[in-house]
Amino acid sequence: MEKRVKFKGWLLPALLIAPQVVISAVFFFYPAGQAIWQSLFIPDPFGLSMQYVGLGNFEFLLSDRFYRASFVTTAIFSILVTLCSMIPALFLAVIADRLIKGSGVYRTLLIWPYAVAPAVAGVLWLFMFNTRVGVVSWYLGQLGYDWNHVLNGGEAMGLVVVASAWGRISYNFLFFFAALQAVPKSVIEAAAIDGAHFWKRFWTIVLPLLSPTTFFLLVVNIVYSFFETFGVIHTITAGGPQQTTTILVYKVYSDGFVSQDLGSSSAQSVILLIVVGLLTVLQFKFIEKRVHY
Amino acid sequence: MARQVHGMVEKRGSGLWLTHVFMILGVLVIFFPIWLAFVASTVTQADIIRPPMPVWPGDQLWTNYKNALFSGINVPVGTMLLNSLVMAIGIAVGKIIISLLSAFAIVYFKFPGRNLFFWLIFLTLMLPVEVRIVPTYEVVAGFGMLNSYSGLIFPLIASATATFLFRQFFLTIPDELAEAARVDGARPMRFFWDIVVPMSRTNIAALFVILFIYGWNQYLWPLLITTDPEMNTIVMGIKQMFPSGDDFAHWPTIMATSILAMIPPVIVVVGMQRLFIRGLVDSEK
């Protein structure tokens, strides 16, 4: 789409876009270029010179047991976060949609956790499951279950998944609820007259109509669990125990800033860049489709 | 008949009652972590380190919050709140200004390199700050912007989501308005101030809500560049309040800080709910 009416001149538009161009160049394109450039080098141990290694960093990474493990961890983590945040949200949205009155009140109450930063959510969940003072871990202890996410990798994963999914339930609820409200009531009523009971209507009519929203949320939640859950991981487990919760973004941070391994960290950034690129393409492809829909 | 069908689709009677029970249960489960944090912020450390902690608030609310706000652990939480506020508002306002200007240029002017520019900003959509942290850190350090507000703000406004949003919106402004402005001999900037900006009010407000939350909730970036506790933001500062050794964390202060860290974004989200939902849906399109 284009405007028919355009103003003339080039100096004014150049000035108008200048702030964005400068900021993007300095804080975006230059660093992104640096990440790609640095991924081709290995600094010597004293940081005095760089040795060109071509794709050596990538070869090393892809054969590195820990890096491959981090890929698997990220995949498991993001699938779990996506499921744990979408299923309860859909459930709540479906029952809220059946209410004629009061759904607005519930919506107001349910959007709260969205405003809570992932890092703060991490602290809240850490507090509940803290091995010494946590309420939930204490009651689990009374039931004979010895909760210790500091030592047990599976429990650590469970905890970071729940803490990351918690705030996202609000987000997904808002989108599902809006989509459900947009489902034409006449279709549902027609099915009801034909004798389709609630669950049958849900599976055969409502869920298919929700599929654009569901697909959109799938992509968005995967992107979220890849990139925005750093705060949760850092506050609760710091990637441990034994790297069982080290997702890719956490590894870029820990290799780059904690271990100062710049070559490897940059190569990891480049790999992540490709992953984000693919996810973005997927998202845009889908959105284009939805416009026609 | 219509009423009967209505009854089949929307729940009444016992079914309605059950629906409310489910909703209330859902809300309670979701609220539970916040409730516990609030309770912990109103009791003494002694109440917490002998589990199980109480489930109802104690009488230490004033003491704990006063202690957190004015003394804190490394730095008064009041200072961290101020830093977060400056950062969140800086990001929201900065991003809105630069994107309004560049979207206006893209939509209303024909200039060489316009398409190239459009694709360049498109690229910035794809790369969250988390991915380019090491080189961005080096750039900011090179400018001497570590431990400064500009270092907190600028790298996070270098993304074009808002530009896209405004571009989409400007395209829906009727051409007749620009035509009339041109016939009247109005300069482009006059048209911008008198027509485009006022018409974008709602979009600007909705975007402000989203960007404020985004800025307030940042964690990784402030963690890297604010090594001086005086510059810590509240969201990243909470983790810094935990002792490094085996000591007990001072939970009442930490939980009071967590509650304080939630209040501003919760007020924004709940208070501007309509704008927030609109902004959320728009910015994801």
- Nearest CA to CA, how far is B89 from chain A (Å)? 16
Q: H-type helices in A194-261, by residue range?
A: 198-201, 207-227, 230-236, 248-253
Residue B18 included in any domain: no
Enclosing domain of residue B222: 78-234+265-283
Contact at 8 Å (CB) between A272 and B127? no
Output the tens digit of pLDDT for each of chain A's 293 residues. Answer: 567 667 878 888 889 989 988 998 898 888 888 888 888 888 776 666 777 887 888 888 888 888 999 999 999 999 999 999 999 999 999 888 887 677 778 888 888 888 899 999 999 999 999 888 888 999 998 898 888 888 888 999 999 999 999 989 999 998 898 888 888 888 888 888 887 787 888 888 888 888 888 888 888 898 889 888 999 999 999 887 888 999 998 998 888 888 777 788 888 888 888 887 787 777 777 665 543 33
Domain-embedded: residue B197: yes
Q: How many domains does chain B have?
A: 1
- Chain A stretch 161-220, residues whose beta carbon is closer than 8 A to a beta carbon of chain B: 166, 169-171, 174-175, 178, 185, 188-189, 192-193, 216, 220
Q: Which of A9, A125, A257 has its CB closest to that of B224?
A: A257
B153: domain CATH number is: 1.10.3720.10
Strand partners, A162: none
Do the Cβ atoms of B175 and A262 come within 8 Å?
no
Q: Does any domain span residue B53? A: no
Whether B46 contacts chain A with CB within 8 A: no
User: Is residue B177 assigned to a domain?
Assistant: yes
- Tell me whether A26 touches chain B (CB under 8 Å): yes
Contact at CB, A95 and B23, closer than 8 angstroms: yes
CA distance B16 to A99: 7
State whether residue B141 sits within 8 Å of chain A by CB.
no
Chain position carrying tokens 């104690």 = B58
CA–CA dist A96, A177 (Å, integer):
8
What does pTM read for this prediction? 0.88
Q: How far apart are CA A144 and CA B102, in angstroms?
A: 62
CB-based contact, A91 to chain B, within 8 Å: yes
Q: Is residue B247 part of a domain?
A: no
Question: Do A24 and B102 count as a contact with CB atoms less than 8 A apart?
Answer: no
Identity of the residue in A7, A107, A120 whose CB atom sits nearest the CB atom of B188: A7
| ipTM (interface predicted TM) | 0.87
Instruction: Decide if B214 is inside a domain.
Output: yes
Among residues A209, A248, A204, the alpha carbon closest in space to that of A228 is found at: A248
Cβ B105–A13 below 8 Å, yes or no?
yes
Domain A71-114+150-292 has CATH 1.10.3720.10: yes
Chain B residues touching residue A280 (CB < 8 angstroms): 125-126
